Structure 1
Amino acid sequence: MKLLLAEDEKAMSMALVAVLEHSGYEVDAVYDGLSAVEKGRSGAYDCMIFDIMMPKLDGVSALKELRGSGDTTPVIMLTAKAEVDDRITGLDAGADDYLTKPFAMGELLARIRSMTRRSGSAFTPSALSAGAVELDVEEQELSCKSSVRLGNKETRLMKFFMLNAGKELPTETIFTHVWKDEDDVTEEIVWIYVSYLREKLEAIQADIQIAGEKGKAFSLIVRNEGE
């Protein structure tokens, strides 16, 4: 699983990264709120951990920007302050949990496990949209000028693309998220299902497309008028 850590105290960041990587997570570390927004918008993460007090852009403002763009990734806020107002501000901005410094690493790991276990349902709306295309996750129906039913894996893949619209998603990342519980398939399956979705997007005359080549990164983008 991949995490985004935004913590401006570099010694603290290095210590957190070391423990998180030792626990099996892949971690991208940034040191200010602006970089957190840029990373959050360009990459797909299972959970994001933001310190509240950061240079360039504080953690709450960074979170507001990401939530405003439709990002539903679970977020844990870190704060050195224990006042109730700070917790309320973070939660109102869209945070899912918070920890007050100093905290035990075991507690942070437990919070991350809790967030990522629930991220498949609790943090994902049942209806998603990109461009003029809508995905009904529960009914497994994709619609634009017409509609088409999707299979279970097609729905999971389309949901992942819509939740990360505009981001470059490596084949390995897509495979890990959609087929993480299956041991009898290889990354080749990603290309096959991307091809299925491309056909169905064409069938409903969608104004979005899945760009990318076999074995490389893919991205869900909105077509320009006339394309």
Structure 2
Amino acid sequence: MNTATRLPRTAATTGRASAADRHSRVGTRELLACVAVAGPLWVGVSIAQVLTREGFEPTRHPLSQLATGSLGWLQITNFVIAGILATAGAAGLRRVMQGTAGGVAVPRLVRVIGIGMVAAGLLTMDPADGFPVGTPEGIPETMSWHAYGHMLAGSVTFISMIAAGYLLGRHFSRLGNRKLAIASRVAATVKLAGDAWAMSGGQAGPVTIATGTTVMFALLAYVALHYRRTV
């Protein structure tokens, strides 16, 4: 009698557990898709504006400068949406990387990247160096509070990208995935070198910053898709 009553309960419990597992897998795949989309979305929308915004010169103006002027809302929205996607997607990375080298730090860094992008979008740069059209040439003598906030948010985001890249290199090295380990370290180094070049006053600094950022976003998107296939 006792055995007969226990069997249905066990089956029901197993059924609930299986349903929960399926729900968790679906949620994880969706979260990882957020990470995969965030970077390419931001890069794609930025490039579209570079090609169409009058007066914008990528060798002189950083992509963040697109958030100024009458059409600046496009880049602000781009920053915010991509940042929200990255922030949400960090939870998916935490699930699939749990218990591995970098399994705690990398998702946290991706979350910081997302939050930093939202902040960088809302805290815009000042018009400068001829953009938007009609702005005097050169850098303004004084900066607004939100321009300083943008610089801080950008710095935190870029440092987090570099750290995430090197930690992903360690992560995949421990897992025996040599190709992804190398790719992760190369991406982080490209970002580090590009930012260092720009900060040192190197020619076409905005291009090297944008290149490093694009490479790191590509890496994070690939890692998210890599793990999405295993869920």
> Normalized per residue, which structure has more helix?
2
Higher relative contact order (CA 8 A, sep 6+): 2
Structure with greater Cα Rg = 2
Name the structure where strand makes up a greater proportion of residues. Answer: 1
